[in-house]
Amino acid sequence: MAPFSRGFALWILTKFAMLFFIFALAAILLQMSVVQQSSACETQAGDAASGITAKISQVIFSPSEDERQTYSLEGALPVGSSGVRYAINITYRVLASANNNAGLYISLGSLSQVSCNAGTNIGLGEPDKYNVIFVSPNGMQKAEQGSTLRFTPSEGTENLKKSRYVIILKCAQKSPGGKKYLFIQDCHQEAVTDCNELNFDSATVKTCCGWDPAQCPIG
C-alpha cells in the first residue's frame, strides 16, 4: 500500500475513533445527568410526600377535637430547568398485617421522563375510629377499603383545573362517644380562601359534627 493510502486510512481510523469517543462520552454524560436528576427527583418527591403526611398527622394528633390544616401543592417538583410533573394518590386501607388497623397511604410519582416516586403512610387505629371522607370537585365520598383520592398538581384532568391545595379537617359529633370524621379535600381553587367546602361553618361539617348529627348525609 502506498504511503499516501496508508496515511489516509490511518486518518480515517483516527476520525472514526474520535467520533466514537465523543459519542460515548456524550452518552456517559447524559446517563450521569439522568441519574443525578432521578436522585434529586427522589429527594424532592420524598419531601413532598412527607410534607403532606406531616400536615395530616398534625390534624390527627392535635389535642383539639376539631382541627383544620392546609397544604399548598407545587405545580412541579423543583428538578432541572423546567421541573418534573407529578401526581399524588392518597389511599385508604385496612391491613390484616397491622392488626386490621386502618391507615392512609400517600404515594407520589413523576409523570415526566425523569422517573421518581415516594411513599409514606399514617396509621389511623381501628377502622371505626374515623370516618374518612374524600372530597373532590365531584363531591364527597366515604372512603372504603382501597378508595383513592388523586391529586394532579401538574395537569388538570376531565376539564378540571390543577390541584392546588390539600385541605384536611378533623371534627367529632358533639355527643358522648360520637363519631369522628377526617375529611381530605382535593381543592382546585386558585385562592385557598375559595376552598369553602371544608370549613367548620359549612353545612356538611356543621351537620355531621354538630349537636344533631342524625341528618349527616355521609354516615
Instruction: Give the span between the Cα atoms of 52 and 74, in whole angstroms.
Output: 12
The C-alpha angle with vertex 69 and arms to 88 and 138, in degrees rounded to 5, equals 50
Q: What is the pLDDT of residue 104?
A: 95
Mean pLDDT for the stretch of residues 199-215:
84
| pLDDT tens sequence across 28-77 | 544 444 445 567 788 888 889 999 999 999 999 999 989 999 999 999 88
| pLDDT tens sequence across 153-179 | 998 666 667 999 999 999 998 887 788
Q: Which three cell numbers stand for residue 59?
A: 390534624
Mean pLDDT for the stretch of residues 111-115:
79
pTM over 0.85: no
> Helix H segments across the chain?
3-60, 203-208
Provide the b/e sequence for 45-72 (b: ≥16 CB within 10 Å): bbebbebbbebbbebbeeeeeebbbebe
> Domain boundaries in the chain?
37-214
Mean pLDDT for the stretch of residues 124-147:
92
Instruction: Write down the mean pLDDT value for the chain.
Output: 83
pLDDT at 25 exceeding the cut of 60: no
Q: What is the pLDDT of residue 175?
A: 80
Instruction: Give the span between the Cα atoms of 187 and 202, in whole angstroms.
Output: 15
By the 8 A CB rule, do 126 and 102 touch?
yes
